Amino acid sequence: MTTQPTPHIIQAEQVAPQAWRNGGGQTRELLTWPDATDWHLRISRADIEADGPFSAFAGVQRWFVVLSGKGVVLR
């Protein structure tokens, strides 16, 4: 018989922020799979602090949702 892991809630503020390379914001990684360095799936929360280019991640398809604020305009 396999034991199932017990889920627990982690508040986003408990996750250390990672500054963006372009200095325009920060990200908090909430989930990476299968691991943090070579992930195939990543869920993160980003705080946009300044206008700037949308960073390229080769081979990665991204989706995002605006949770608060005035929105995002991509040009």
Report the chain's mean pLDDT, rounded to a whole number.
Answer: 89
> What confidence score (pLDDT) does residue 22 get?
86
**For the segment 3-34, what is each residue's pLDDT rounded down to a tens digit?**
888 888 888 889 999 999 889 999 999 989 99
Instruction: With a cut of 90, say whether residue 36 has pLDDT above it.
Output: no
> What confidence score (pLDDT) does residue 40 get?
92
| Token representation of residue 11 | 């508040």
Q: pTM score, two decimals?
A: 0.75
To which H or E segment does residue 26 belong? strand 25-33
Q: Is the link from the previous residue into 53 a cis peptide, with omega within 30 of 0?
A: no
Please identify which residue in the block is written with the tokens 């949702």: 65
Q: Is 17 exposed, middle or buried (0-12, 13-18, 19+ CB in 10 A)?
A: middle
Q: What share of the chain is helix, strand, coil (3-state, %, to 5)?
A: 5, 25, 70
**For the segment 42-55, what is each residue's pLDDT rounded down to a tens digit?**
999 999 999 888 88
